[in-house]
Structure 1
Amino acid sequence: MSGEIAAVEGQESGVMRDDAHRPDNQISSGRFGNVFEFSDNFITRIHIYVDPDFSSQDNARISILSR
């Protein structure tokens, strides 16, 4: 918390349509972060940041970034 802004970090998990359990904790860790802005005890703005490769199926770009 900082004034009227709160940041929350967490980890999500689940089962995909192909029955694969995610995250795989090798490429993806399933992390997310949300930033809430408040005014008069109401949420006025929210920013949601999630793992862009939650399903660990973007190996081509991940391998480039890992170099």
Structure 2
Amino acid sequence: MTTTTDAALARAGWHKSSHSGDEGACVEVARAPETVGVRDSKDPAGPVLLFPPAVWAAFAAAPPRS
């Protein structure tokens, strides 16, 4: 079953994180107008975490924790 969110994220396109290494531990992000999806690049048909754009922007802008 495809939802409106699934279709919007598919149109937006999935992009691998620039912080992912070459060892296969990667996440992909797709940004649609009303949501941001995050998934495991090794399992594109698997689960997707959905975030409101403002929440994702705050997460992405946060400094790295040591």
TM-score, scaled relative to structure 1 = 0.33
Quick one: higher RCO (CA 8 Å, sep 6+), 1 or 2? 1
Q: Going by fraction, where is strand more abundant, 1 or 2?
A: 1
Larger radius of gyration: 1
